[in-house]
Amino acid sequence: MKYILMMNTMKAGCGVPSWPQKDLQAHIAFMLALNKELHAAGELVSAEGLSFPDQARQVRAGKEGKPITDGVFPESKEFLAGFWIIDVDSPERAYAIAAKISAAPGAGGAPLNMPIEVRPVMSAPPKEML
Amino acid sequence: MKYILLMSGTKAGVDGYLAWSQKDIDAHMAVLKALNKELTESGEFVATQRLAGPAEAKVVRGEKNGLPVTDGIFPESKEFLLGYWLVDVATPERAYAIAARISTGPGPGGVPTNMPIEVRQVASYDQRKS
């Protein structure tokens, strides 16, 4: 069963967090170790880290299909920071991995306890889209 | 440069889509299918995923002992990720142009939905480097 684990913690306009370098490194080391563990278990399908919200653009089609880009988002908007796609035996295993990610260290090494959104992924694109 | 094109919507928006006629859904899917084919041929296609709907979403946090706490209640205003495309393109402008194409996908009666598509650069986790 394929699941997506989404970190939606970032706010409009923010860039790299102003944590001490040491704390940023500990956070990244935690994520890399987790990815390695999931890969070794055969559960990791893919993982992507997105650029920060200050780089995000909203695009709509204007006249003649030309793109209209806008970088202004509501304060309340949640931004995807990154995601994992995992292939696991049960939803409970997906939730357990999400709980691990939730406890990633933040400033001063304290667990962030951030919320992680978990949803099944359609195992293949629908036939009509291929 | 790898970019992610994110298609999001609220629960109300998703319920509206589910009420489209089969003919309108087929026409919308045909446009996305043609786009995926075109991006594959141009060598810009990396991946696309469609996610299960908001009804199947859970938000997970780690408890003190690391056990997952799951909750399925979200604010009405929450935007859910519905699906995404990862593309590998030469410029951000090309990513915006592809997003505009997705934005012009037909809705009910063939009228373009003009839905906003969020565009951001990504850093992929490369398991060969781990």
The shortest CB-CB distance from B4 to any of A50, A113, A115 is to A50
CB pairs under 8 A between A and B: 173
Class of domain B2-129 (CATH, top level): alpha beta
Which of A11-20, A49-58, B65-74, B101-110 has the lowest average pLDDT? Answer: A11-20
Delineate the domains of chain A, giving CATH numbers in brackets.
11-129 (3.30.70.1060)
- Phi-psi bin for A23: left (phi > 0), alpha (psi -120 to 50), beta? alpha
Token output for B42: 């141009």
ipTM: 0.87
- In chain B, alpha helices (H): 11-18, 22-41, 92-103
Tens digit of pLDDT for each residue in B79-94?
999 999 999 999 999 9
Containing H/E element for A36? helix A21-40
- Whether B12 has its CB under 8 Å from any CB of chain A: the answer is no
CB B83 within 8 A of CB B101: no
**Confidence band for A127, pLDDT divided at 50, 70 and 90:** low
Nearest CA in chain A to B58: A118
Residue B46 touches chain A, beta carbons under 8 Å: no
Q: Which tokens sit at A42?
A: 């055969």
Q: What are the tens digits of pLDDT across the range B2-51? A: 999 999 999 999 999 889 999 999 999 999 999 999 999 999 999 999 99
- Identify any residues that bridge with B112 across adjacent strands, giving them in sequence order: B106
For residue A60, give every residue at least 6 positions away whose Cβ sits within 8 Å of its Cβ, in sequence order, or none: A67, A68, A70, B100, B103, B114, B115, B116, B117
At residue B123, the pLDDT reads: 82
Q: Which residue of B has its CA nearest to A99?
A: B62
**A69: its two tokens:** 């880009």
Question: CA-to-CA distance for A36 and B129, rounded, in angstroms?
Answer: 10
* Closest-CA distance of chain A to residue B7, Å: 10
**Average pLDDT in the A101-111 region?**
92
Probe site for chain A from B63, B118, B122 (most A CB atoms < 10 A): B118
Residues contacting residue B49 through CB under 8 Å, at least 6 positions apart: A4, A85, A121, A122, A125, B83, B84
Q: Is B52 in Cβ contact with A122 (below 8 Å)?
A: yes
Partner-chain contact A57 B112, CB within 8 Å: no
Compute chain A's Rg from CA coordinates.
Answer: 17
Compute the nearest-CA separation of A83 from chain B (Å). 10
Domain boundaries, chain B: 2-129
Portion of chain A with pLDDT greater than 90, in percent: 72
Q: What is the DSSP-derived secondary structure letter of residue B49? A: E
Shortest Cα distance, chain B CAs vs residue A88, angstroms: 16
CB contact under 8 A, A111 and B62: yes
Nearest to A102 among B32, B62, B86 (CB): B62
**Could you tell me the pTM of the whole model?**
0.89
Confidence of residue B129 (pLDDT cuts 50, 70, 90): very low
